[in-house]
Structure 1
Amino acid sequence: MTATAPEAHPAGPDSPPQGRRERKKQRTREALIDAAFELFAEKGFDATTVEEIADAVDVSSRTFFRYFTSKEEVALTFQEEQHEAVLAALTARPPDEPVVTALRRAVVGIVQAAERGESGFDPERLSTMMDLIQTSPALLAGSLEHTQKKQASLTRVIAERMGVDPAADLRPHVVAATAACSFRATTDMIHNYRNSCDGIPLSEALDRAFAIVEDGLNFPSVPPAD
């Protein structure tokens, strides 16, 4: 299966041109993110300090906190960008496509774009982020919290696609939660079984995970041996 990711529009496709001050602020923000991920890849998340990130861009820590509340927020910018891209991709899927199939193709397409460095994504940043989440308990907690907070927006898009009210129908919530669990299970498997999973792209493993969900989870039990 090959999914196509939508073209990324960081400022929005219909946004007016930014003024000089806004462009400068955006460049500073991007420079802080770039510096942070370089340091994270070199030293690890926990060993990197806000002061080091700010120094790498030649700004003060005070300036850093004008853009981000913490280094966790910097690291999770990648996850935020992926989430927004998935919502856009899911909304753009054909309206007659079953909901899990549409979600599968949207998620896999965005991860493929990130792996290939397309649609404004950085493949090195994806690889770094996967390693950081597995090696830093603090960032893992932040990632899980971010996923939980963003689940409502995914549930809303799924409900709109199904034509149901999420306040009265449990199904969109179950689908959104299942998607989050599938992503988490996939990254855990790749991290914990590196030898057997070596060379398998995240997008391919995710595609397999969503295929399992599509096929159904009520697997038959193995009878006990006599």
Structure 2
Amino acid sequence: MTATAPETGTTGPGPQPPGRRERKKQRTREALVDAAFTLFAEKGFDATTVEEIADAVDVSSRTFFRYFASKEDVALTFQEEQTRAVMAVLADRPPEEPIMTALRRTVVEIARACEAGELGFDPGRFECMLAMMDDSPSLLAGSLEHAQKKQALITNIVAERMGLDPDTDLRPHVVAAATTCAFQAAADVTRRLGGTFSPLSETVDQAFAILENGLNEPSRPSE
């Protein structure tokens, strides 16, 4: 049997659904993530062990390590989902939109989706992640490392959108770095201070507004 590709009119094999083995592996992976976040919420990140996560799913620690290198990797699945969502939403922004405006609206949309449980996000996990970042220096370090690794991807997407070559033009690198720093700054003050810096989506919006409007403002009124 062949299927017609609607965009090109050519024929070829249609997409194949995952087999039983792949479905089982995916269910196991999701169960490990579910169990991990339940334990993280109950006990905290540092007090939760890999053995406890594995036991909650009735698998061995050896099986756990087939899916994740560490419990940090389990926790950072949420951050990975956020990154994928940002890339997808940014790709759908109008091409004529200025780059910082597009990034601001994209990141704010994802932050609001995390808080509201939209786009497939679990708001309980989102709150858990914010709390764990505040309580666990090791997880915070892992989160920053993850963001750094993803910066090259963001740089390339920004460069393509701006029509620039990242090998010869510094601007995409600066934009990508500013984007990462703005989100991290917003998350940091939300975790530590709360109050006027909550919810996170509003603080993210304020942070990107500063970038969008420019940083070169007078620090005090001129005399």
Tell me if TM exceeds 0.5. Answer: yes
SS of the aligned residue for 1:165 comes to coil
**TM-fit CA distance, 1:110:** 1.3
Detail structure 1 runs of 4+ shifted over 6 Å in the superposition: none
Q: 2:218 aligns with which of 208, 211, 220?
A: 220
Kept in 1: contact 2:158–2:176 (CA 8 A): yes
Once residues 103 and 15 of structure 2 are traced to their aligned partners in structure 1, the CA distance between those partners, rounded to angstroms, is 27
RCO greater where, 1 or 2, for CA within 8 Å and sep 6 or more? 1
**TM-fit CA distance, 1:196:** 4.2
Once residues 177 and 16 of structure 1 are traced to their aligned partners in structure 2, the CA distance between those partners, rounded to angstroms, is 39
Would the alpha carbon gap of residues 41 and 21 (structure 1) be closer, same or farther in structure 2, given more than 3 Å must change?
same
Would the alpha carbon gap of residues 221 and 102 (structure 1) be closer, same or farther in structure 2, given more than 3 Å must change?
same
Structure 2 counterpart of 1:189: 189
Once residues 206 and 196 of structure 2 are traced to their aligned partners in structure 1, the CA distance between those partners, rounded to angstroms, is 15
**TM-fit CA distance, 1:190:** 1.2
Larger Rg: 2
**TM-fit CA distance, 1:98:** 0.2
TM-score, normalised by the number of residues in structure 2: 0.90
Of 153-162 and 116-125, deviating more is 116-125
Once residues 161 and 195 of structure 1 are traced to their aligned partners in structure 2, the CA distance between those partners, rounded to angstroms, is 36
Once residues 57 and 162 of structure 1 are traced to their aligned partners in structure 2, the CA distance between those partners, rounded to angstroms, is 46
Amino acid at match of 1:24: K
How high is the sequence identity, in percent, across the aligned residues? 67
**TM-fit CA distance, 1:91:** 1.2
1:147-168 alpha-carbon deviations (Å, 9 max, x no partner): 0000000000000000000011
**TM-fit CA distance, 1:88:** 1.1
Structure 2 counterpart of 1:41: 41
Q: Is 1:202 equivalent to 2:200 in the alignment?
A: yes
| Mapping 1:82-161, distance limit 5 Å | 82-161=82-161
Report how many aligned residue pairs link the two structures: 210
Structure 2 counterpart of 1:67: 67
Once residues 222 and 119 of structure 1 are traced to their aligned partners in structure 2, the CA distance between those partners, rounded to angstroms, is 42
Which runs of 5 or more structure 1 residues have no equivalent in the other structure? 1-13
SS of the aligned residue for 1:157 comes to helix
1:169-198 alpha-carbon deviations (Å, 9 max, x no partner): 11111111111111111111112212444x
Which runs of 5 or more structure 2 residues have no equivalent in the other structure? 1-13
Amino acid at match of 1:201: P
Structure 1 counterpart of 2:58: 58
Once residues 126 and 102 of structure 1 are traced to their aligned partners in structure 2, the CA distance between those partners, rounded to angstroms, is 23
Amino acid at match of 1:90: L
Query: Considering only aligned residues, what root-mean-square deviation do their CA atoms show, in Å?
Result: 1.6
Amino acid at match of 1:33: V
Structure 2 counterpart of 1:17: 17
**TM-fit CA distance, 1:16:** 3.3
Of 186-195 and 90-99, deviating more is 186-195
Structure 1 counterpart of 2:7: none
Once residues 142 and 28 of structure 2 are traced to their aligned partners in structure 1, the CA distance between those partners, rounded to angstroms, is 24
